[in-house]
Amino acid sequence: MTTDRGARFWRRPGAGAEGRRRFIPVFILVGLGAFIALLNPTFLTPSNLITVVLQASILSIVAIGQTYVILTAGIDLSVGSLVALGGALSAGLAVKAGLGTYPAILLTLLVGVGLGAVSGLLVVKGHIPPFVATLAMMAIARGLTLVYTQGRPIAGLGADFTFLGTGDILGIPMPVWIMAVVAVLAALLLTQTRFGLYVRAIGGGGEETVRLAGVRPGVIKLLVYMLSGFMATLGGVLLAARLWSAQPNAGIGLELDAIAAAVLGGASLFGGIGGVGGTLIGALLIGVLSNGMNLLEIPSYYQQVVKGMVFVLAVLLDFATRRRPTP
């Protein structure tokens, strides 16, 4: 069986709507890039483009975790706070507790998975709507971060730590490498494994069907929130590494960017539809937008407004095209 999936994808009768949709974000990305380049040629310089990708890489990692949650028709609002906690905890364990960079990071990622599990259990066992459960986790994780840091940045990271954020291999920054590895693994997990299939199955109203097929949807959902917690704290570690210090206020509002990246990349908030590739494009789109607005010297306060509006437009598109009208 060596079916050419690419060809089949194109020929599939009526792959139409959903098929063409996949390319909308790419067109928007190219269009937006061209528009910015026209107004400010600096945009297209290699160093600027690398900066854009570098800036988008941490968001991409967090947004990939978010995509998994959104595929199950859930949402994870705690990722911004978990980014802060990831940075603070890894930096603190490495610098203050002297654990060594890698044990510190590993332990931090485990904490991220654990807090994700708490959100997941609240959703699955506590039957709390995902946005409420993760809103609580958002406050808890931010609070824990402030408690742990006493509200002050943690600096003095070792060279092996900062290498993860500022170093490069073959001229490509480390966060981009890490993002690439994470993205490939996440994409394979989603498209090639049972777990990935069940994640996609649960979202589109298939929870009962999945249960009758002998799969426990609760376990799948729990794993998804754990994955999102992992990704968010990983993003936090890289952010601290890139800034040479952990900021207790890191990642404020990042949950919006992460959700926006997924939705801009074609994920549906109704669940079931979305993918890693689309989310990467979505994150890049947000990166280009931020970078472009900086190049065009748009004040940062206005940038917030623009981002919010872009997010709303993306969600409107999702709702308008994917919700079946009632007869």
Partner 1 sequence: MASEATAPPNSPKLPSSPPPVSEATPLLEMRGIAKAFPGVQALSDVSFTLHAGEIHALVGENGAGKSTLMNILTGAVPKDAGTILLRGQPVEITDPRRAIELGIAIIHQELTLIPHLTVAQNIYLGREPHGRLPGTVDWATLNRQAEDLLARLGLDLRPTTPVAELSIAQRQMVEVAKALSLNADIIAMDEPTSALSEREVETLFGFIRQLRRQGVGLIYISHRIAEVFALADRVTVLRDGRHVGTASVQDVDEAQIINWMVGRTLSELYPKTSRPQAEVVLKVEGLRRDNSLHDISFELHRGEILGLAGLVGAGRTHVVRALFGVDPVDGGTIWLEGRPVRITSPQEAIRLGIGLVPEDRKAQGLFLGMAVRQNITMTRLHDLSRLGVIDRRRQDGLARQYVEELRIRTPGLGQRVRALSGGNQQKVVIARWLTLNPKVLLLDEPTRGIDVGAKVEIYALMSELAARGVGILMISSELPEILGVCDRILVMRGGRLVGEFDRAEATQDAIMTLATGGTRS
- Contacts with partner 1 by CB under 8 A lie at 1, 3, 8, 12-14, 18, 192-195, 197, 200-201, 204-206, 208-210, 212-215, 272-273, 327
Measured CA to CA, the distance from residue 174 to residue 167 in angstroms comes to: 6
Q: Which is nearer to partner 1, 125 or 194 (CB)?
A: 194
Measured CA to CA, the distance from residue 287 to residue 273 in angstroms comes to: 23
In this structure, which long-range contacts are made by residues 159-163, counting pairs with CB atoms below 8 Å and at least 24 apart in sequence? 160/101, 160/102, 161/90, 161/91, 161/94, 161/101, 161/105, 161/240, 161/241, 162/241, 162/242, 162/244, 163/241
Measured CA to CA, the distance from residue 232 to residue 234 in angstroms comes to: 5
Q: Which is nearer to partner 1, 273 or 288 (CB)?
A: 273
Measured CA to CA, the distance from residue 8 to residue 26 in angstroms comes to: 21
Measured CA to CA, the distance from residue 47 to residue 42 in angstroms comes to: 9
CB of 211 to partner 1, least distance (A): 8
Token couple for 185: 């693994």
Q: Which is nearer to partner 1, 215 or 288 (CB)?
A: 215
Count of alpha carbons within 13 angstroms of residue 183, beta-carbon side:
21
Q: Which is nearer to partner 1, 64 or 202 (CB)?
A: 202
Q: Which is nearer to partner 1, 45 or 193 (CB)?
A: 193
CB of 8 to partner 1, least distance (A): 6
Q: Which is nearer to partner 1, 122 or 273 (CB)?
A: 273
CB of 113 to partner 1, least distance (A): 18
Measured CA to CA, the distance from residue 273 to residue 268 in angstroms comes to: 5
Element (H, E) at 1: none
Q: Which is nearer to partner 1, 54 or 71 (CB)?
A: 71
CB of 129 to partner 1, least distance (A): 17
CB of 12 to partner 1, least distance (A): 7
Nearest partner of 87 among 268, 294, 237, 260, judged by Cα: 237
CB of 274 to partner 1, least distance (A): 10
CB of 203 to partner 1, least distance (A): 8
